[in-house]
Amino acid sequence: MAMNWFLGAIIGLLIYGFGLSIYRLWFHPLSKYPGPRLAALTRWYVAWYIYRGVFYRHVRDLHNQYGDVVRTGPDLIHFNSPATMVDIYGAQANVLKTDEFQVLNIAGSSTIFSAVKKNVHAFKRRTLLPLFNDRSLQPYSDRILRYIERYTSLLGQGTNLSNTSKGNWGPPIRLGEETFCLLYDITSDIALGQSLEMLTSPDWRFVPSLMLRISRRSGMGIAQPLLCKLGIGALMFVTSFAQMRSLVTHILHHVERRLSSSGTFTQKEMVSPMATAQDKNGFKYTTGDIASEITLLIFAGADTTASAMTNAYAYLLHHPSILSRLTDEIRSTFANVDEIRTGSKLTSCHLLYACLDETLRLMPVAANGSFRRVQRGGTKVGGDLIPAGTDISVSAYSLHRKASLFPSPDDFIPDRWLPGSENAVGRNGVPSDPHAFVPFSMGPRGCIGMKLSRMTMSIMLARVVFLYDLRWAPGPRCCHLKKPGQRCDELNKAYLFAHANEVKAQLRPRQT
């Protein structure tokens, strides 16, 4: 009897699976859209490519094969045009973040990144946005400079600073690792009021690798809800629980001490506005909410900026003539390194910002795109009415590498951003469509730390090339690891965010 019941259950599941497959392939409302048949059958298709870290590349390949609208899951469509950016991520879009973003909740508390309800997210954004406007950035700049000075000093160790006439190159340096440590020091200081001191202490150096695992698990969990429902996501993360607990506990204890102190709050840390914020319904942040928000802000701010900066190093090292031009621009603009700070001199360095923009074009931090779920009544995207319950997205990586928007889309050409250049895009180096370049996304869910990130990267890169000459370290590097026909930047992985491949370089003090 038991065997008959078991056999019946198996047969029932097979019939259900067969019927569901037939429905998804030929009768589903999205069946009219082109895409791989396997993708139409299951969300495990997306989860597998995200697990491998190559979904961003695969989406672009699918667009090249099928066009600007591709079905990448049973209920998932990717679009690839600037106009659809507005339709999906604009303030008037009839969409919400998918419920699966709650995988990013920390200790049960939602964050500005994981909040699904618009009113909850709006309250969090109103609370934090004043910390990232132009007026607030200036107090941050002096603190950022202190860490960048420490960073450039550490990079110079072993370069024989006392005898530059010999032109000695220093030992190989893992620029990516040191850059991640710098950015985690900066973001923890700004967000928490206390740095993790990763540049000078090994205690928290596990954090970037921990966050990489979180990014992978979260990206997969958002793509395939069953990962969390079946507990598979937790199993993937079981070896990291202790590290995550220690980090969150450290942040929570500091927040508790800060909230219990008798000192007056200032706007110099992000704990302050959250501690006093209250919406019209009386909602306030709890201590746990603040700790969760701070943890996410540190992770998102440091990881994305550090990856972008590491990629900038890689592109410049691959293009020594551009690196030489950038070096000349910085050294001819500033008389000494202390002059390199926010201000008109820095903003006059057009090639500097062009290099950063070109890096973000080629490898945007949210390369996979961010899913949005269509709400009741459907929504128009690119002229098509998309039914409720559909997840929709635009991959910034695919959009930025569209030849009709950016000629020679796979080439590192900073001049495309320079007014008057023969390679300039649009008019005066500005894309004719403002939504063609969206490295920080757009709309009410766009990155609130965009200005802070660009300020940090510009000062950092300018100071490094002012002080040092750079070259690849001897031995194997990305060019030796790639497969035939593969570009070096395709070695990057992208999960929740893009993660740069390590850059091993040598530095020497400037010779002139």
CA distance 126 to 52: 36
What would the mean pLDDT of 377-399 be, rounded to a whole number?
96
Q: What is the pLDDT of residues 273-288, one digit of tens each?
A: 888 888 887 888 888 8
Helix (H) or strand (E) holding 509: strand 504-509
DSSP code at position 385: E
Phi and psi (nearest 5°) for 73?
-165, 170
Higher-confidence position of 243 and 511: 243
Share of the chain above pLDDT 70, in %: 93
Give me the pLDDT at residue 59, please: 98
152-169 per-position pLDDT tens digit: 999 988 665 544 445 688
Tell which wins on pLDDT, 134 or 250.
250
Handedness of CA 374, 375, 377, 380 (dihedral sign): negative
**pLDDT tens sequence across 432-445:** 788 999 999 998 88
pLDDT higher than threshold 80 for residue 183: yes
CB 164 within 8 A of CB 509: yes
Banded pLDDT at 239 (limits 50, 70, 90): confident
Distance of CA 12 to the CA centre of its chain: 44
pLDDT digits (tens, 9 = 90+) for 61-120: 999 999 999 999 999 999 999 999 999 999 899 999 988 888 888 777 888 888 888 888
Looking at the predicted structure, is the pLDDT value of residue 267 above 70?
Answer: no
- Reported confidence tier of residue 301, pLDDT bands at 50, 70, 90: very high
Q: What is the C-alpha to C-alpha distance for residues 110 and 121, in angstroms, rounded to an integer?
A: 9
**What's the DSSP call for residue 26?**
I
pLDDT at 18: 82
Tell me the three state secondary structure of residue 81: coil
- Check residue 264 and give its pLDDT: 54
Contact 77, 391 (CB under 8 A): yes
447 is in an annotated binding site: yes
Amino acid, res. 492: N
What is the structure's pLDDT at 413?
A: 96
What the block records as the tokens of 368 is: 């996979």
Higher-confidence position of 422 and 401? 401
Mean pLDDT of 222-248: 81
Q: Which of 104-108, 213-217, 350-354 has the highest mean pLDDT?
A: 350-354
Per-residue pLDDT tens for 468-498?
999 999 876 777 677 777 788 888 999 999 9
User: Where does the pLDDT of residue 308 fall: very low under 50, low under 70, confident under 90, or very high at 90 and above?
Assistant: very high
Query: Is the pLDDT reported for residue 3 higher than 50?
Result: yes
The count of other CB atoms within 10 Å of the CB of residue 429 is 20
Asked if residues 327 and 436 have their Cβ atoms less than 8 Å apart, the reply is: no
In 3-state terms, what secondary structure has residue 265?
coil
Measure the CA–CA gap between 154 and 182, rounded to whole angstroms: 11
The answer, yes or no, to whether residue 430 has pLDDT greater than 80, is no
Cα angle 154, 157, 162; round to 5: 130
Average pLDDT over residues 352-380: 95
Mean pLDDT of 454-459: 96
Of 45-49, 153-157, 308-312, 319-323, the range with the lowest mean pLDDT is 153-157
The pLDDT of residue 164 is 45
Contact between 315 and 355 (Cβ < 8 Å): yes
Q: Tally Cβ neighbours within 10 Å of residue 257.
A: 11
**DSSP assignment of 305-370, as one string?**
HHHHHHHHHHHHHH-HHHHHHHHHHHHHH-SSGGG-SSSHHHHT-HHHHHHHHHHHHHS-TTTT--
Is the separation of the CB atoms in 294 and 251 below 8 Å?
yes
Q: Give the residue ranges of DSSP H helices in 42-192.
A: 44-52, 55-66, 82-89, 118-128, 134-155, 175-192
Mean pLDDT, residues 320-340: 97
Indicate if the pLDDT at residue 28 is higher than 50: yes
Alpha-carbon gap, residue 168 to 509, rounded angstroms:
8
- Domains of the chain, residue spans: 107-368+438-509
Sign of the CA dihedral with 30 first, then 34, 35, and 36 last:
positive
Separation of alpha carbons 448 and 85, rounded Å: 18
Cβ atoms < 10 Å from Cβ of 388:
14
Taking residues 14-31, what's their average pLDDT?
88
Q: Tell me the Ramachandran region of residue 260: left when phi exceeds 0, alpha when psi lies from -120 to 50, beta otherwise.
A: alpha
Average per-residue pLDDT in the chain? Answer: 89
Task: Give one DSSP letter per residue of 432-474, joined into a string.
Answer: SSTTS--TT--GGGS-TTHHHHHHHHHHHHHHHHHHEEEEEPS
DSSP string, 399-418: HHT-TTTSSSTTS--GGGGS
Q: Which pLDDT score, from 0 to 100, does residue 265 have?
A: 52
In this predicted structure, what is the pLDDT of residue 162?
A: 45
Amino acid 268: pLDDT? 59
Which CATH number is correct for 107-368+438-509, 1.20.1250.20, 1.20.120.1770, 1.20.1420.20, 1.10.630.10? 1.10.630.10
d(CA 123, CA 441): 19
The conformation of residue 68, written as its DSSP 8-state character, comes to: S
Q: pTM to 2 decimals?
A: 0.93
Asked if residue 375 lies in contact with residue 388, where contact means CB atoms within 8 angstroms, the answer is: yes
